[in-house]
Amino acid sequence: MNERIDELFEQALAEFMAENKYATIIVPDPLKEKFAQLIVRECVQVCEPILDEPYENMTEFGKGLVEGQDVAIERIKEHFGVKE
């Protein structure tokens, strides 16, 4: 993961604390990291292509759609620093 995950976590924490002034929160870094990984994984799964037919049998439009989904997946991973 990367700095963006930390920024989003700090933003969430600040917003939560503004709404819950008397709350005390201690979140260990490994938990924060695991939570971020699950969110990124979910985003990637939403973008993964659902193929009803083999790629080689698709129309040019279908192939373009699959390639666009692949680009979206890679951009999400890159944005959040996922190395898989």
Q: Using one digit for the tens of pLDDT, what is the confidence trace for 30-65?
A: 888 888 888 888 888 888 877 777 888 888 988 898
What is the pLDDT of the chain when averaged over all its residues? 86
> In the chain, how many domains are there?
1
Percent of the chain with pLDDT over 70: 98
Residue 84, pLDDT score: 65
Range of the domain at 34: 3-80
Residue 11, pLDDT score: 92
Separation of alpha carbons 67 and 69, rounded Å: 5
Residue 18, pLDDT score: 92
